[in-house]
Each structure stands twice: as C-alpha cells, then as structure tokens.
Amino acid sequence: MTLGRLNHVGVATPSIAVSIAMYRDLLGAEAIGEPFDLPAQGVKVCFIDAPNMQIELIEPYDDASPIAGFLAKNPAGGQHHLCFEVADIDAAVAELTAKGARVLGKPRIGAHGTPIVFVHPRDMGGVLIELMETHKH
C-alpha cells in the first residue's frame, strides 16, 4: 500500500453542539455538516470541512459507545484517530496483517459509505489509524 491522503481527523467530544460552536466561532469553520447518528457504531457524528480534509466530531451515542472510555480519560475531548485513504481496503488489510499489524475486525461501511477498518495503535506508534477505501467515481 501507499500512504494515501488524510481523509479526516477524528476528534472525540462530549458535545458535538459545543464543539461546532468552538470550530465556527473561534476557528472560523464555515462548512459544517448536519450531525447524524450511527447507532450501530455507537457514535453521533458531524463533519467539519477544512480546505484539504475534514474534522470528524464524534460524540457517544450511549453509555456503551466505543469512545466512552476515551472520554472518561479525556473528559474535555481530544484527538481520537487519523483516517487515511487507501485504494483497496482488502489489499491493505492483507498487507498489514502479513506484516504483523493488528487490524481490528473486518472492513465495514463507515460514515462516508465506503469500507473502513481500524489498526491497533500499539502497532501504529500510539496512534489509532483508520483506513478508508477511497470513493470510486
């Protein structure tokens, strides 16, 4: 695989509404999507556009949310993951697995409607890496 473009930075927050206000009123974000629920993944999501990538705000959907633990450790929120695009997610998973990296589960459809998968931060220098198959046009 080749390192692809950074699609988004995942930022965990206890409140998407509060974070939207911060990015809009303090940092001048102008393109802010409508928040939506991903109950199957246990998160509420909102994308904010920067000129070359997006910020993905993620808020727990309920107490069983996979980001509940992160927010317990970081109550104010914080950087949760980096999502890089790959051309072929199955090939990327096969290559990473063959090289000994721990891929977390099988690819599933992510917030952008293309397959995504996460790689264990222990094998990624402490960074939770999401791989997302690039939209095919």
Catalytic residues: 130
Q: Is 28 in the site for a copy of itself (CB under 8 A)?
A: yes
| Secondary structure of residue 1 in the 3-state scheme | coil
DSSP for 92-123? HHHHHHHTT--EEEEEEE-TTSSEEEEE-GGG
Closest to a copy of itself by CB, 29 or 68: 29
Closest CA to 25 of 17, 13, 37: 17
Which of 27-35, 36-44, 59-67, 108-116 is the region at the interface with a copy of itself (rule: CB under 8 A)? 27-35
Place of tokens 């802010």: 32
Show the binding pattern over residues 112-131: x = contacts a copy of itself (CB under 8 A), - = does not.
Answer: ---------xxxxxxx-x--
Q: Is 29 in the site for a copy of itself (CB under 8 A)?
A: yes
Residue 50 corresponds to which tokens in the numbers above? Answer: 């920067």
DSSP single-letter state for residue 61? S
Q: How far apart are CA 109 and CA 39, in angstroms?
A: 13
Q: Is 91 in the site for a copy of itself (CB under 8 A)?
A: no
Q: Is 25 in the site for a copy of itself (CB under 8 A)?
A: yes
Q: Is 74 in the site for a copy of itself (CB under 8 A)?
A: yes
> Which residues of this chain interact with a copy of itself, rule CB under 8 A?
1-6, 9, 11-13, 18-19, 22-23, 25-30, 48, 50-53, 74-79, 82, 84, 96, 99, 101, 121-127, 129
